[in-house]
Amino acid sequence: MLRAFAASAIDARISSRLRKRMRPGILALPLLLASCAPVAPQSTPAPVPSPHDGAHDFDPLLGNFNFRLHYMLHPLTSSPDWTDMAGTGACYKVWDGRAQLDTVELDSSSGGHIEGLTLRLYDREARQWRLYWANSRIGRLDPPQIGDFRDGRGDFYTTDTINGITTLIRFDWSRMTSGTPHFEQAFSPDGGKTWEVNWLTDQTRTGEAAWGEPQPGRPSTQPPGTQPPPPSTARDGQHDFDFDFGIWKMHIRRLVHPLTGSSEWTEMEGTTETNKIWDGRSNLATVEADGPSGHLELLALRLYDPRARQWNISFATSDSAVLSVPAAGGFTDGRGEFYDSELFHSRNILVRFSIWPVSPTEVHSEQAFSADGGTTWETNWINTYTRVSDKGGE
């Protein structure tokens, strides 16, 4: 449930604090010289308005909603065919609103079904949101839409490949405080000169949303006119993380300086909570812990890919609000192992995350790095979880 960059994030906070302490000293000499020079009369400059803190701009989406969707079947093809879907969704608060998990289930009159989720993360330094979308049919995250709200309207952009063409994608949110928020998606294949709106959603709030409430949990169907991929021969592991649902007391041991030969470890204590999504084919684990290195807020979004029959795990800390490279893998004989390749101190390394239940009330997980292509591994993060409750909820 923890990650390489979590250690880097803690170290970065310490470095940032040191830099902030140094700045007054660095500026002292120029200020002293300036005070000795003749000063011409100057008018008082107008105050500069503080940048908007948008950490709670998405708060109006928290709760249960009814959805109505109108979308284009074949975007960027000059096809006039549109269709409609309706359904329900629930949006949950994470990190006191600085992150959200939004789920939706939609059905069409022709039998089509969409099961999706959006993870929203707020970057406090950039004062921007990152919106990550996933469809249960695929079990992987799309590239994040990045942007913010201005005058009550939110615009978020990314690029992706649509029909073999690099395309700009825009998400647009409006009517946020009306109780009936409105969303539009548009594509631009010409660098933003023209935009084709292809997805419109209107939603109506119906009440509060609480973790643990029953969800329909029916996988998305194949889009019209497309062929499903051949079924995988691998074991179906869509419920392999069921042992982890609930609230856990957590003890962390972290190697302070991985891949340096150091044997200095530090410890943290905290809690972790794992909530079921899509009837167990996805889940969100959140961590809060404290220790000598400071306070840690971390989340892990786990998505099951039914085509590959593998899990994809992405991590983020509240400091960075950027999801990590997803680690992919699965369970064998009750032990889950997940791998990815990423940069650590400017060098490319392999990362392995392992997790396994010891008993119904105890779970262990570890993180290890390899700088030699997997020949040797150095364990640098060890977690022990003791169950507090088998039900999540805030």
3 has pLDDT over 90:
no
Strands 82-94 and 153-162, bridge-based pairing: unpaired
Strands 246-255 and 196-207, bridge-based pairing: unpaired
Output the average pLDDT for the chain: 87
**Structure-token pair, residue 75:** 């975007």
d(CA 108, CA 145): 26
pLDDT tens string 184-240: 999 999 999 999 999 999 999 999 998 765 555 666 565 655 555 666 677 899 999
Nearest to 181 by CA among 100, 302, 294: 100
Q: What is the pTM of this model?
A: 0.84
Nearest to 354 by CA among 324, 376, 387, 332: 332
Which pLDDT score is estimated for 15? 40
Which pLDDT score is estimated for 118? 97
d(CA 175, CA 183): 9
Q: What dihedral angle (degrees, nearest 10) is formed by the CA atoms of 77, 78, 79, 83?
A: 90
d(CA 332, CA 235): 9
Q: What dihedral angle (degrees, nearest 10) is formed by the CA atoms of 224, 308, 347, 126?
A: 40
Which pLDDT score is estimated for 16? 41
Radius of gyration of the chain (CA): 24
- Cross-strand bridge partners of residue 160: 167
**Structure-token pair, residue 273:** 């909570």
Instruction: Kindly list the structural domains of the chain, giving each domain's residue range(s) and its CATH number in brackets, ordered by start.
Output: 59-207 (2.40.128.20), 237-389 (2.40.128.20)
pLDDT tens string 232-278: 677 899 999 999 999 999 999 999 999 999 999 999 999 999 999 99
Nearest to 262 by CA among 321, 345, 327, 203: 345
Nearest to 134 by CA among 120, 154, 146: 120
Q: What sign for the dihedral angle of Cα 192, 195, 198, 201?
A: positive
